[in-house]
Amino acid sequence: MARSRSEGDWWRTAVIYQVYPRSFADSNGDGIGDLPGITARLDALVELGIDAVWLSPFFTSPQRDGGYDVADYTDVDPLFGTLADFDVLRDRAHALGLKVIIDLVPNHSSSAHPWFQAALAAAPGSAERGHYLFRDGRGEHGELPPNNWQSVFGGSAWTRVDEADGKPGPAERGDRARPAEAAGTAGAAAPQKAQWYLHLFDSSQPDFDWTNDEVKELFRGVLRFWLERGVDGFRVDVAHGLVKKPGLPDYTPPADGGSAGGAEPDVPYWAQPGVHEIYRDWHRVLAEFGPDRILIGEAWVEPLSKLAEWVRPDEMQQTFNFAYLETPWEAAALKKVVDDSLAAFGGVGAPSTWVLSNHDMIRHTTRLGLATPPPQGEGIGPRSEAHPDDAVGLRRARAATAFMLALPGSAYLYQGEELGLPEVIDLPDGARQDPTFLRTGGESYGRDGSRVPLPWEAAKPSAGFGPPRSDGSGASWLPQPEAWASYARDVQFGVPGSTLEFYREALAARRLHRLASNELVWLPPVDAQPDDPQTLVFRSGAITVIANTGPNTVELPAGRVVLASGPLGTGTLPGDTTAWIEA
Ligand code: GLC
Ligand code: CA
């Protein structure tokens, strides 16, 4: 039964806060965040003023990609706790009025998943191998990869498993079961070629074959398991990647293509039309559980008019707006992406979403301080050419957040942005864990700099991230920089002008003035020289929002200041500052 969408849908206006469990709060002193740690800190999120939490993966996993390599979709990794701990978290969140979104990773499993282990142990052509994308290699003995696809994390997207005689290949020899003897199984007398499996990400993340009915049934079961357990929705990882073009044709991306593949047309592994049938199917599964459960797509698809196909009325409810995230802090570009977003999503009856930071991006506090940010996934580190200006970055980040939180629709926050945390640039090489760093031999720093454990209490070991470790070191899985304690929540809470208080004021005023559900009406810019306007001005109900993206001070319209992202002059708005005025 198709469900109707009403204005009352909670997700249309929600502020959804992303928790990266490894780095949020550690309850047991092993230096890694966990579910009881999150539960213990939920009150702080209520005090912040958000509506929902999205938890990045906490499922059973060898943690080769921070848990985006799932070995059991219906259990909690012991690193993070137990299913009982999840139930406590869910109950506490719901009692506090917070929705709980979890992460679903359907494009690939971990290579430790029992299905992949069974596939390795089975013969080429077997039903077990059919769950994944095993193919014969090219060349006489299959010694070359089946096609030229590259992993998002660097290197070939294929790993070889079989020798040409059907025995385990170099990647798996020794620690894996031998495949069944090929004779008789494959039915052909001809010598077999070596087989390879596809992994668009790390070699520990084999891609499922989404034309396989058992794969479809597996994920229906996973959805139902968590829906029965009371989750309010799913953020769907790599929601543009599940279906591959038949025949898996070669593809060479443009030299300047971002790793996630957003703007490239006709990529045989991104945004294939077949994905939509999967989301229609899942939409029906969610509808069995009432009208309030949602699907959120992590789909790197451009243009926005195409991305809107993911949120047609019988598919997902929301999708991330990476076009918005990637827009520089420039008036004309921002106006265009806002208009394009409202038109594209509005055209299919979906809310626009807005986001500035997540666990895959350089934190916007740092990114907006860079003249030319590196492509997604590359990250920055000590040897990077890009050197951010911290003060400019934080000032722009707060101005950008004030602009974003005034826009109609749903907004995403990433843990720590409410503290003004910058990207950590000087992590030692030896501490880095992102497979991007490892697979490119350190050429790309990757995403660890946005994942450093949060500072809660300045005076405590690990800045209150967790209890002291038994060795007294207070060390966390990624080391916190010296200055981390100065960003701690307890030194910002209740302190006027702090970034935390700025976020709390913004979220409270957004709610009070219903900015998320009002209509946005652009007003003329207020620049002194209007030929190249640096200001963006719009009206939302009783509130006028002015963002000054340029360096020059401009005049502030008359009225009561409801929110300012930084200090104001007398009747004036300095550069890189946003204000909300009630007239
Ligand atoms: C998504 C996740 C990212 C992960 C990748 C592979 O892009 O956000 O963290 O590495 O998918 O699962
Ligand atoms: Ca822990």
Mean pLDDT of 5-25: 90
Mean pLDDT of 82-107: 98
> How confident is residue 265, by pLDDT bands cut at 50, 70 and 90?
confident
DSSP reduced 3-state for 91: helix
303 upstream amide cis, omega within 30 of 0: yes
pLDDT digits (tens, 9 = 90+) for 131-164: 999 999 999 999 999 999 999 999 999 999 998 8
The whole-number pLDDT of residue 261 equals 58
Mean pLDDT of 299-319: 97
Calculate how far, in angstroms, residue 29's C-alpha sits from the geometric centre of ligand 2: 6
Largest alpha-carbon pair distance within the chain? Answer: 87
Which of 519, 495, 510 minimizes the C-alpha distance to 562? 510
DSSP string of 167-234, one letter each residue = SB-TTTTTTSPPPPP-TTTS---SPPPPEEEE-SS-TTSPBB-TT-HHHHHHHHHHHHHHHHTT--EE
Residues with Cβ–ion distance below 5 A, ligand 2: 26, 28, 30, 32, 34
Q: Is 237 a catalytic residue?
A: yes
Residue with tokens 């979220």: 507
Q: Does residue 201's CB lie within 6 angstroms of at least one atom of ligand 1?
A: yes
How far apart are alpha carbons 4 and 349 in whole angstroms? 11
Could you tell me the domains of the chain? 10-108+212-492 (3.20.20.80), 109-207 (3.90.400.10), 519-582 (2.60.40.1180)
Long-range Cβ pairs for the range 333-339 (8 Å, 24+):
334/403, 334/536, 334/547, 334/549, 335/522, 335/536, 337/304, 338/407, 338/520
The whole-number pLDDT of residue 475 equals 85
* Residue with the larger pLDDT of the pair 404 and 179: 404
pLDDT digits (tens, 9 = 90+) for 502-523: 999 999 999 999 999 999 999 9
Mean pLDDT of 83-108: 98
Please compute, for residue 163, the number of CA atoms within 13 A of its CA located in the half-sphere on the CB side.
8
Measure the CA angle with vertex 45, ends 82 and 465; round to 5°: 60
Amino acid at 427: L
How far apart are alpha carbons 317 and 16 in whole angstroms? 14
Whole-structure pTM value: 0.95
Task: For the chain, give the percent of residues with pLDDT over 70.
Answer: 93
Measured from the Cα of 435, ligand 1's closest atom is 10
Given a cut of 80, whether residue 173 has pLDDT beyond it is no
CA 148 to chain centre: 27
Amino acid at 538: F
How far apart are alpha carbons 379 and 69 in whole angstroms? 21
The whole-number pLDDT of residue 176 equals 39
Neighbour tally for 192: CB within 10 Å: 23
Which of 376, 371, 353 minimizes the C-alpha distance to 450? 376
Q: Does residue 238's CB lie within 6 angstroms of at least one atom of ligand 1?
A: yes
Residue whose CA is closest, atom 2 of ligand 1? 237
Task: Starting at the earlier edge strand, list the strands of the sheet with 195-198.
Answer: 134-136, 195-198, 158-160
